[in-house]
Amino acid sequence: MGEVVDAGKKEANGSLADLNPTVVFVLGGPGSGKGTQCANIVRHFGFTHLSAGDLLRAEIKSGSENGTMISNMIKEGKIVPSEVTIKLLERAMLENGNDKFLIDGFPRNEENRAAFEAVTKIEPSFVLFFDCSDEEMERRLLGRNQGREDDNIETIRKRFKVFQDSSLPVIEYYNSKGKVRKIDAGRPVEEVYESVKAIFEPKNEKAD
Ligand SMILES: Nc1ncnc2c1ncn2[C@@H]1O[C@H](COP(=O)(O)OP(=O)(O)O)[C@@H](O)[C@H]1O
Ligand SMILES: Nc1ccn([C@H]2C[C@H](O)[C@@H](COP(=O)(O)OP(=O)(O)O)O2)c(=O)n1
Ligand SMILES: [Mg+2]
């Protein structure tokens, strides 16, 4: 029996287990260029880009009951409880229906990592790590001009500390599993993308 489907509205159908998506985590400090490079990857390699920060900001705008809590945490540079962020990521994956996702800015701490694994049973294929100096990231964030409440020097310093203390250990964890692809993100956008592309392109392996 055929079902009438409203093509304009995507339904969150099925489960993540059915979808069994390919996931690449895109990590790096604030301002390292995660969002910029994800836009390039989407154009060439057919992934869907999900930024945890964008999903949280959309949740604030939607007037959700968690909005005030999320907004306060972002202003303080703190990491929102995993439960909230994981629900948003799960919903976005199921609504979208693609089976290849770049998850940008997540997992940002050990709690994010362990909870995502426990809830979704998804293991990332690999982790892109954009490595960039604090000086360069600070310059970029202060010039970003997206009207973000957290792109001020006081919050930026807090975000750098959270990255050092909470996010780098997650990258170390994946590094110990051989999953990290580290990229020098301090170079111009096009140069960084050349390195990114080489990671996503199928390898032309020589027979011996
Ligand atoms: N390689 C680069 N060189 C200079 N500026 C960059 C580079 N990559 C991104 N930017 C700029 O820096 C700011 C932060 O980039 P963004 O992609 O939003 O980083 P993230 O998502 O990691 O915080 C943006 O204004 C962006 O245009
Ligand atoms: N996994 C995540 C990702 C982001 N957040 C919150 C806390 C972060 O400082 C803000 C902004 O994240 P976002 O990835 O958009 O920031 P950057 O692109 O790294 O500058 O959102 C979170 O609580 N948990
Ligand atoms: Mg970003």
| Per-residue pLDDT tens digits for 76-117 | 999 999 999 999 999 999 999 899 999 999 999 999 999 999
Ligand nearest to the Cα of 150, by number: 2
* Token digits of residue 206: 């020589």
Residue 30 · residue 137 · CB < 8 Å: yes
The three-point CA angle 63-68-74 to 5° equals: 115
pLDDT at 97: 86
Residue 42 · residue 49 · CB < 8 Å: yes
Ligand 2 atom closest to Cα of residue 79? 23
Q: Report the separation in Å between the CA atom of 121 and the middle of ligand 3, taken as the mean of its atom positions.
A: 25
Residue 26 CA from chain centroid, whole number: 5
Alpha-helical regions (H) of the chain: 16-19, 34-45, 52-61, 67-75, 82-96, 110-120, 134-142, 153-162, 168-176, 189-200
Kind of pairing, strands 48-51 and 180-184? unpaired
* Token digits of residue 38: 């994800």
pLDDT at 136: 98
Kind of pairing, strands 100-104 and 126-131? unpaired
Interval 32-36 mean pLDDT: 98
pLDDT at 189: 98
Cα distance between residue 136 and residue 187, in whole Å:
10
Cα distance between residue 136 and residue 141, in whole Å:
9
Q: Which amino acid is at 91?
A: R
Q: Which residues line ligand 2 (CB under 6 A)?
A: 30-31, 34-35, 51-53, 56, 74, 77, 79-80, 85, 105-106, 108, 112, 150, 159
Q: Is 28 in the pocket of ligand 1 (CB under 6 A)?
A: yes
Cα distance between residue 68 and residue 59, in whole Å:
10
* Cβ contacts of 94 within 8 Å, gap of 6 or more: 12, 13, 14, 15, 16, 19
pLDDT at 202: 82
User: Given a cut of 70, is residue 47 above it in pLDDT?
Assistant: yes
pLDDT in tens, 119-157: 999 999 999 999 999 999 999 999 999 999 999 999 999
Question: How does residue 3 score in pLDDT terms, banded at 50, 70 and 90?
Answer: low
Question: How does residue 9 score in pLDDT terms, banded at 50, 70 and 90?
Answer: very low
| Omega before residue 107 within 30° of 0, cis | yes
Q: Would the annotation count 148 as a binding residue?
A: yes
Question: How does residue 203 score in pLDDT terms, banded at 50, 70 and 90?
Answer: confident
Q: Would the annotation count 139 as a binding residue?
A: no
pLDDT at 8: 47
Q: Report the separation in Å between the CA atom of 53 and the middle of ligand 2, taken as the mean of its atom positions.
A: 4
Cα distance between residue 97 and residue 11, in whole Å:
9
Interval 1-17 mean pLDDT: 61
Pocket test for ligand 2, best of 36, 136, 150 (most atoms within 8 A of CB): 150
* Token digits of residue 171: 């990258």
Interval 164-177 mean pLDDT: 98
* Token digits of residue 148: 């973000």
- In terms of Cα–Cα distance, which of 36, 45, 32 is closest to 135? 32
Average pLDDT, the chain: 93
The domains found in the chain, sorted by start residue, are: 19-186 (3.40.50.300)
